[in-house]
Structure 1
Amino acid sequence: MSVSNANTASSNGVGAGIPVIDVGPFIRNEVGSADVVKAIEAACRDTGFFLVTGHGVSLDVTSRLYQLARAFFDYPQDWKTTQGRGTGVMGGVAFSPLAEEALAATLGIKTPGDYKESLNFGQNLPGDTWPNRPEGIERAFRDYFKEMEILAKHMRRIFCQAIGLDQDYFEPSFENHLSALRVINYPEQDEAPLPGQMRAGVHTDYGFMTILRSEASAGGLQVRNRNGDWLDAPSIEGAYVINIADAFMRWSNDEWVSTPHRVANPPSGFKGTARRQSIPFFLNPSKDTVIECLPPFLKGGAKYEPITYGEYIDLKTKQAFSKG
């Protein structure tokens, strides 16, 4: 098992970077599993962000989703906006056009809509009929979703060992889970963004954790560490960025960190291609799962009252899509 520091804090030299952790020994039950658990536990407390290699996710399945989603985003805007706008199909597709979502609103920050568009799918989430082009896009989403479910289960078991829980402690909470797979297109910015507008405004994720297939680009993912420094998240071929999300931070009584992050605009005057496509998998528990302080984190008492995940996600979603 190897751990490397893929980034360091800004010029003041204070603060941890974003570690890269080979989880292969844990997944294969080899020597070094305990080191994987220890490294991830430290990352979850220090930054809430880390990269994983050795994960076993199919490259073919990943590439197929990436290419078919890109083909969808290349279709004319007037056709795209007729797709994925309904909510009558469980396990259907949802399309979010450019600037419809403003993620900074979830932190109480008023900004223009984020300069991105996305396709969204969850097996237990409502959507619309899948488009008939590009051919195979529904199957690509479903196949990749399965790959993420496998990796997510490995990560839950690592978390349980790090906390001191039975390795299957969380599994009942992920029956009929509300996880969402999203492919996000950040187009070229041919005109200057509006004041305060970013590719994705500063936010934290809502659920248990996020598993991100990222891409190198001008204008990319930035993570704010506990010292307030913004770190550029590295893009390492084949690695996944994983971060703790709000519901799990609440579960851990704030000991594991759900870290603010954003997607920056390309630098002013940048002449090359700045188009970016990312694929986050938002691992969310079932609607009726109660989020309350886990016993190992109780110590001086729970900071929050219990709340169901359904109640929690409704609040966060309304904030993100609020026009007020």
Structure 2
Amino acid sequence: MQDATDPQVSDIPVIDVGPFIRQEAGAAQVVRGIEQAARDTGFFLVTGHGVSPATTARLYTLARAYFDLPEDYKRAHGRGTGVPGGVSFSPLADEALAATKGIETPGDYKESLNFGRRLPGDAWPDAPEGLEAAFGDYFSEMETLARHLRRIFCSAIGLDPDYFEPAFENHLSALRVINYPEQEESPLPGQLRAGVHTDYGFMTILRSEASSGGLQVQRRDGQWLDAPCVEGAYVINIADAFMRWTNDEWVSTPHRVANPPAGKGGSSRRQSIPFFVNPGKETLISCLEPFCAGGAKYEPITYGDYIELKTRQAFGQR
């Protein structure tokens, strides 16, 4: 586990948000710290968040058990789209995230399970027992943490604390558990655990773990930083739609998941749990007033149209 005070990773601060959540001394310092991080790198870690360790551990354990099942079983589930709030399974190397930046690479060396309350999926598998409930319980924990963070953002921007809440009444947020297996063979040229990309939505809340071959964040000078891993903390990053809302003053930063170093001893298997916080489809993304003094860079657009635009751009379409 890395020391969060190490100069190599000090660009990505660790912030205890407990004082803000409890509205006690230190709340203003929380707001200032997050605002600075949102402007500088778009990444920070939070502790004091109140997420249940038991709920997190249950999802982690059951998802890991699913990934350990035979490949034929996994591929027989989660491949359809006919069940609202169902599960979706993405097998190894099925996705190449760098394509969203116009970079052609082999598929990423990972597999994942995906769920959203308002997103299409497939029927949940029978094994392991309790998987659907574990996803649902953790999803609820993330909704609560996301509300706390939105209120912090509003305080930093100078908005009413509940300014963003109407945009999230029918939110399209997604919960994903990602398995990065041991790399028993050398990856293909250009293949990473997750290729360089930015996230499209409002923000991402990531539960990660210490292992070789982890999350890296690109500084503005192009240098790649290893994100610190702090027990019990969550990595938060600003995503593209929120960056547009702030007229590009709060930054959505490229990131990737590196391969473990060749020849490194010990296990390099890794499991992470990102929660992609996305507003409702009809939400209008329009320059927030505090950021518009020099004029808005972008025309207003609904979140649904914005995602369609980003997808077309990613695949070279007009």
TM-score class normalised by the smaller sequence:
over 0.9
Distance 2:314 2:77 in 1: 21
Give aligned pairs, total. 314
* Aligned AA (2:126): N
Change (3 A) 1:179 1:85: same
8 Å CA contact 2:4, 2:228 repeated in 1: no
Aligned-pair CA distance for 1:144: 0.2
Question: Which residue, out of 260, 272, 278, partners 1:266?
Answer: 260
Identity of aligned residues (%): 75
Structure 1 position 180 matched with structure 2 position 179: no
The aligned amino acid for 2:307 is I
The CA deviation string for residues 95-129 of structure 1, in whole angstroms up to 9 with x for no partner, is 01111111111111111111100000000100000
Trace 1:270-281 onto structure 2 (pairs within 5 A): 270-281=264-275
Match of 2:59 among 41, 65, 70: 65
Q: TM-score, normalising length from structure 1? A: 0.94
Secondary structure of the residue that 2:44 maps to in structure 1? strand
Is contact 1:9-1:229 (8 Å) kept? no
Residue 307 of structure 1: CA displacement? 1.7
Distance in 2 between residues matched to 1:294 and 1:275, nearest whole Å: 42
| Equivalent residue in structure 1 for 2:143, among 149, 166, 174 | 149
CA distance in 2, matches of 1:140, 1:265: 29
Q: Whole-Å Cα distance in 1 between the matches of residues 161 and 91 of structure 2?
A: 40
Cα 1:214–1:52 change in 2 (3 A) is same
Of the three residues 289, 293, 299, the one matched with 2:293 is 299
Give the deviation of 1:9 after TM superposition.
4.1
- Extract structure 1 runs of 4+ deviating beyond 6 A: 318-322
Structure 1's 7 and 280: CA in aligned 2 closer, same or farther, altered over 3 A?
Answer: farther
1:232 aligned residue: 226
Tell me the SS of whatever aligns to 1:216. coil
d(CA) in 1 for partners of 2:311, 2:213: 25
Q: State the match for 2:244 in structure 1.
A: 250
Name the SS of the counterpart of 1:156 in structure 2: helix
Structure 2 runs not aligned, ≥5 long: none
Paired residue secondary structure (1:85): coil
| Alignment correspondent of 1:209 | 203
Alpha-carbon deviations, 1:49-108, whole Å to 9, x = none? 000000000000000000000000000111101110111111000001111111111111
Aligned equivalent of 2:7? 8
- 1:6 deviates by 4.0
RMSD (Å) for aligned C-alpha atoms: 1.6
The answer (yes or no) to whether the contact 1:100–1:321 under 8 Å persists in 2 is no
| Amino acid paired to 1:290 | L
SS in structure 2 of the partner of residue 236 of structure 1: coil
8 Å contact kept, 1:221–1:264: yes
The 8 Å contact of residues 187 and 274 in structure 1, kept in 2 or not, is answered as: yes
Runs of 5+ in structure 1 lacking a partner? 11-15
| 318 and 274 in structure 1: CA distance in 2 versus 1, 3 angstrom threshold | farther
Given the superposition, is the C-alpha separation of residues 87 and 6 from structure 1 closer, same or farther in structure 2, using an over 3 Å criterion? farther
Question: What letter matches 2:218 in structure 1?
Answer: R
